[in-house]
C-alpha cells in the first residue's frame, strides 16, 4: 500500500478567543495554510514513528517532538492500531506557536491519513472529537474550536456546550469574500500558557472576568450578523473593541499592539490579535484601499504576512 496523505486546516479566530473556553460564542474561519500528514504502514509490533517534519521547505518541528509522539500514539490507540508501526511525514505550511491552529491541523491530518491507510471509515464528527482529545494533550483545556475548524474547513459560529458533541456550531455564510491580512509577530507563544494565565486570573476574581467574557460574547453575536450581511465596517469596529478586551485579559503583547496600530494606520477597518495571543499573530480586515498597504506597512516594520479570505 502506498502513502496516504491528508490535510488539516489552519484557522483564524475572528472574534471570541479565550472567552470561548468559558462557554461564550466565537467565530473562526479556515485559512489557506494547512498541515499535511503522509502515512505509510511500517513494521507491525511498533509504536508510530514521526520520521520527518517539513515546515515550508525547512526541517523544523511545528509542535514539540514529545507532544507530537504522544498525539500519534493516542491516535493509533483510539483507531485500534497501537502497534501497527505507522511511519509519518509531516509537511506544514503553518508556522509553529503562532496561534493559527497548527496543532489541531496536525492532529486532523494525522487522524485522516492513518484512518485512510488502514481503510477505517470516520465521520467528520469522529475526526474532530479525536482531534479534540489530541488538543487536550497539547494545551490542557481547549474549547474545541480549533479542531472543529481544522476538520470542517469552513467559517463557523462556535459555542462549547454540555451536549454529547461538546459544542453547538452554525455556518457563517458571507455575501462576498472578506479579505484578511495575517501578520506574524515572530514571537512564539504557547496557547497553553495564555489559556492558563487567563484561568488563574478568572479563578482569582470570577465576576470581573465573567463580565469581560460576556462583553466579548455580545460582540461575537453582533459580528456574526455583520458577517452575514457583509458589513465590513461594523465587523472592523467589533474587532477593534475585541482587541481592547483581549488587552484587558492581558493576552496582548507590545509587538501585537504595535502591529495592530500599524495595520489600522494603513487603512485596516479593524485589527486584533488572533488565537492564544502573548505573541503569535494578528489579523487585519482590509478596508477600501485593500490589503496591499497593510501588508507593505507590516513588512516595512519587519513582520511576515499572509493574505486570506473569509468565504
Ligand atoms: C486558541 O486558538 C483559542 C483559545 O480560545 C483557546 C481555545 O479556544 O481552546 C485561546
Q: What is the ipTM of this complex?
A: 0.99
54 alpha carbon – ligand 1 mean position (Å): 25
CATH architecture of 4-171: 2-Layer Sandwich (3.30)
The predicted pLDDT at position 82 comes to 83
Q: Whose CA is nearest to atom 1 of ligand 1?
A: 275
**pLDDT tens-digit map of 229-244:** 999 999 999 999 999 9
Q: Is the CB–ligand 1 distance for residue 142 below 6 Å?
A: yes
146 alpha carbon – ligand 1 mean position (Å): 7
195 alpha carbon – ligand 1 mean position (Å): 7
Q: Is the CB–ligand 1 distance for residue 191 below 6 Å?
A: yes
* pLDDT band at 199; cut points 50, 70, 90: very high
The predicted pLDDT at position 61 comes to 65
CB 50 within 8 A of CB 88: yes
Proportion of the chain above pLDDT 70, given as a percent: 98
Residue indicated by cell numbers 477505517? 120
248 pLDDT more than 80: yes
* pLDDT band at 1; cut points 50, 70, 90: low
Mean pLDDT of 256-279: 98
**pLDDT tens-digit map of 66-115:** 888 899 999 999 999 888 888 999 999 988 788 999 999 999 999 999 99
17 pLDDT more than 70: yes
How many residues appear in the chain?
Answer: 311
Q: Do domains 4-171 and 178-310 have the same CATH topology?
A: no
The predicted pLDDT at position 274 comes to 98
236 alpha carbon – ligand 1 mean position (Å): 21
Q: Is the CB–ligand 1 distance for residue 282 below 6 Å?
A: no
20 alpha carbon – ligand 1 mean position (Å): 7
Write down the domain spans for the chain. 4-171, 178-310
Question: What is the rounded distance in angstroms from the CA atom of residue 156 to the CA atom of residue 201?
Answer: 28
* pLDDT band at 249; cut points 50, 70, 90: very high
221 pLDDT more than 70: yes
Ligand 1 atom closest to the CA of 275, numbered from 1: 2
Mean pLDDT of 21-40: 96
Distances (CA, A) of 253 to 69, 159, 188: 31, 26, 12
59 pLDDT more than 90: no
9 pLDDT more than 70: yes
**How far from each other are the two terminal CA atoms of the chain, in whole angstroms?**
37
Ligand 1 atom closest to the CA of 19, numbered from 1: 5
Q: Is the CB–ligand 1 distance for residue 50 below 6 Å?
A: no
Between 48 and 167, the more confident residue is: 167
Q: Is the CB–ligand 1 distance for residue 17 below 6 Å?
A: yes
Secondary structure class of 27 (helix, strand, coil): strand
Ligand 1 atom closest to the CA of 13, numbered from 1: 2
The question of whether 56 is a catalytic residue gets the answer no
Ligand 1 atom closest to the CA of 101, numbered from 1: 2
Q: Determine the distance from the C-alpha atom of residue 50 to the mean position of all C-alpha atoms in its chain, rounded to a whole number.
A: 22
62 pLDDT more than 70: no
pTM value is 0.95
Q: Which of 56, 89, 146, 214 is catalytic?
A: 146
Please check whether the domain covering 178-310 is classified as CATH 3.40.630.10: no
Q: Which residues partner with 282 through β-bridges?
A: 183, 273
The predicted pLDDT at position 67 comes to 87
Q: Determine the distance from the C-alpha atom of residue 278 to the mean position of all C-alpha atoms in its chain, rounded to a whole number.
A: 15
Amino acid at each position: 500500500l502506498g502513502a496516504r496523505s491528508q490535510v488539516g486546516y489552519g484557522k483564524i479566530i475572528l472574534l471570541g478567543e479565550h472567552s470561548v473556553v468559558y462557554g461564550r460564542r466565537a467565530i473562526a474561519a479556515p485559512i489557506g495554510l494547512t498541515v499535511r500528514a503522509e502515512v505509510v504502514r511500517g513494521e507491525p509490533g511498533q509504536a508510530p514513528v514521526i520520521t520527518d517534519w517539513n515546515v515550508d521547505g525547512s526541517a523544523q518541528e511545528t509542535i514539540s517532538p514529545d507532544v507530537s509522539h504522544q498525539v500519534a500514539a493516542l491516535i493509533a490507540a483510539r483507531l485500534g492500531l497501537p502497534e501497527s508501526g505507522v511511519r509519518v511525514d509531516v509537511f506544514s505550511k503553518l508556522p509553529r506557536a503562532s496561534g493559527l491552529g497548527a496543532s489541531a491541523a496536525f492532529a486532523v491530518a494525522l487522524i485522516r491519513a492513518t484512518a485512510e491507510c488502514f481503510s477505517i471509515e470516520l465521520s467528520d464528527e469522529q475526526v474532530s472529537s479525536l482531534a479534540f482529545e489530541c488538543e487536550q494533550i497539547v494545551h490542557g483545556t481547549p474549547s474545541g474550536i480549533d479542531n472543529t475548524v481544522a476538520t470542517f474547513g469552513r467559517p463557523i459560529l462556535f459555542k462549547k456546550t454540555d451536549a454529547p458533541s461538546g459544542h453547538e456550531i452554525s455556518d457563517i455564510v458571507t455575501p462576498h469574500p472578506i479579505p484578511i491580512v495575517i501578520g506574524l509577530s515572530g514571537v512564539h507563544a504557547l496557547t497553553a500558557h495564555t489559556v492558563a494565565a487567563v484561568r488563574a486570573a478568572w479563578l482569582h476574581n470570577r465576576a470581573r472576568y465573567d463580565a469581560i467574557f460576556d462583553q466579548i460574547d455580545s460582540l461575537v453575536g453582533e459580528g456574526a450578523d455583520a458577517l452575514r450581511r457583509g458589513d465590513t465596517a461594523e465587523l472592523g469596529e467589533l474587532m477593534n473593541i475585541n482587541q481592547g478586551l483581549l488587552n484587558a485579559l492581558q493576552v496582548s503583547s507590545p509587538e501585537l499592539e504595535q502591529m495592530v496600530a500599524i495595520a489600522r494606520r494603513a487603512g485596516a477597518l479593524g485589527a486584533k490579535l488572533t488565537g492564544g495571543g502573548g505573541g503569535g499573530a494578528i489579523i487585519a480586515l482590509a478596508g477600501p484601499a485593500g490589503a496591499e498597504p497593510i501588508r507593505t506597512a507590516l513588512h516595512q516594520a519587519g513582520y511576515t504576512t499572509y493574505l486570506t479570505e473569509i468565504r
